[in-house]
Chains A and B, each alone.
Chain A
Amino acid sequence: MGSGNPAMRVARLALLLLIACAAQADAAEYMNLRGGKFASVLPADAKNADVVVAPFRLRTVPVTNAEFLAFVQAHPQWRRDRVAQVFAESRYLSQWADADTLGTNARPDQPVTQVSWFAARAYCQSENARLPFWNEWEFAAAADATHADARSDPTWRAGILAWYAQPNQPLAVIGGAANFYGVRDLHNLVWEWVDDFNALLVASDSRDQNDPDRLKFCGAGALAMRDLDHYAVLMRIAMLSSLKAANTTANLGFRCAKDGTGDNR
């Protein structure tokens, strides 16, 4: 096999480069989640049915300021001084010192916030990923450290709710405790975009209403939700459904997801 053969060395180097390229595009860590039948607070049929979550992979931590900075450097059309208004409002990345400088108000390991849905989506595409769907986020966020679904545990619920009760806390850095799936920071750090943020509060039945006023009400959003004790999750839904795709807020970040194989857990 002549390992000294220059052609073979070039070939091997090329192969290594290829692997390195592929690895770089996937640098962020993702966990496999098996999905399955899940009692979402938003029933699949807007009445009572469980949703079926397909196997998926979820980023272990939200995207950070440092990671988003690298993204806008590679994709300058997403710099805050160049982005088209249709994709992001004027507050986009306004916590940064400059269009390509984090500065003192934005730590590299804090989750990036003040990002629009369009920008979050574009970032995830750069990671060969997508935003998670609401049911995927909800599925992963139902777990505590040792149970896949801890939602019936009142102590756990109270612990999560406590975070929402203290608004305007300074944004912490990523790296909270891992949950059952090895995913971190789903609670107690930042609100997160989902791909179908504009699917959450659609009326339960928009079909048999002929009265224009009722149709309008229907568009504004009435929805059959179950498990109304689950305030923390309902607050997320209420917040997400109040947003437009170009909006940004100081507490709203995102993580990415991918379709999965269902190998693990």
Chain B
Amino acid sequence: MKISASLRIAPALLALTFAAGAVAADVTPHDAPSHDAALPGDSIYQIDVPLVDQDGHTLTLGERSGGPVVISMFYSTCPYMCPMIIDTIKRVDHALKANGRARLRVVMVSFDSANDTPPVLKASAVKHHVDFKRWTFARAEPDGVRSIAAALDIQYRALPDGSFNHSGVLTLLDAQGRIVARTEKLGEVDPEFLKAVVAQTQPSQGPKPAH
């Protein structure tokens, strides 16, 4: 009885040991860099942060792009600056010709991991009348948010009242996730930034939009 029990326990323990070893070697923390060899070394898509969008779908930073992306950060209860960030991106969007606009994607990542759940993100996106086919509002865990902000050179800190201090930055990524332009000008279109977006969304750049 005892023997058979210990015989059963022994392999279980061994398996556990190897499993523990495998886990220790294989631990891939949430924002552990993936070092994807298929991506250029300077692509921010190397940062492997799982995001959840406004519909509750999980995605990675570069997953839905397939073309140029304007990426920025915000949080839903932000009273003035974030609406202005979103409005500025919409102005850039509207300044594009239809075929260029169809190629552009927009990703807004929230600072507020605690409150910006998918339904809250959805409500934010609806409030701003964005084109859901091309805009993604997303959340990540706090660790991943810090990584994305670091890669985009965006500063932010949480305040005790639940709001955030943060810098406002729009970043243009090419189809491979490389930073090609950046602006801190808000409330109006930065002409240099727009020029870069136009260049990236021209038909010769990247794949044709899917139909």
Contact = CB atoms under 8 A, between A and B. Distances in A.
Interface of A: 2, 5, 7-8, 10-11, 14-15, 17-18, 21-22, 25, 44-46, 49, 77, 82-87, 117-118, 121-122, 125-126, 128, 130, 195-210, 212, 215-216, 218-221, 241, 244-245
B80 A86 contact: no
A241 B155 contact: yes
Given A14-B14, A84-B42, A122-B33, A198 B154 contact: yes
Interface stretch (B97-105, B123-131, B166-174, B192-200): B166-174
Contacts of B59: none
Contact of A87 (B46, B159, B161, B186): B46
Interface string B162-195: 0101111100000000000000111110000000
The 4 closest A-B pairs by CB, nearest first: A219-B167, A245-B150, A199-B157, A14-B13
8 contacts: A10-B14, A45-B159, A85-B42, A118-B150, A125-B32, A200-B155, A202-B155, A216-B184
B166 A212 contact: no
B150 A117 contact: yes
Nearest to B163: A207
A202 B32 CA distance: 26
Given A5-B6, A206-B81, A44 B160 contact: yes
B9 interface: yes
A219 B6 contact: no
A207 B80 contact: yes
Given A117-B150, A122-B32, A212-B186, A202 B157 contact: yes
A8 B167 contact: no
A215 B13 contact: no
B114 interface: no
Contacts of A8: 6, 10
Given A11-B13, A221-B155, A203 B42 contact: no
A5 B21 CA distance: 25
A84 B46 contact: yes
B168 A7 contact: no
Contacts of B95: none
A46 B156 CA distance: 12
B159 A5 contact: no
Contacts of A118: 33, 147, 150
Interface string B120-159: 0000000000000000000000010011011101111101
Chain B interface residue number, banded: 35 or more
B210 interface: no
B156 A198 contact: yes
A241 B156 CA distance: 11
B17 interface: yes
B146 A207 contact: no
B157 A10 contact: no
A45 B151 contact: no
A2 B24 CA distance: 33
B160 A45 contact: yes
B6 to A, nearest CB: 5
A21 to B, nearest CB: 5
B5 to A, nearest CB: 9
Given A7-B7, A11-B10, A196-B157, A208 B35 contact: no
B165 A204 contact: yes
Contacts of A197: 150
B161 A45 contact: yes
A25 B25 CA distance: 10
Nearest to B158: A199
Nearest to A22: B20
A206 B159 CA distance: 12
B13 A15 contact: yes
Interface hub of A2, A85, A220 (most chain B Cβ within 10 A): A85
A21 B161 CA distance: 43
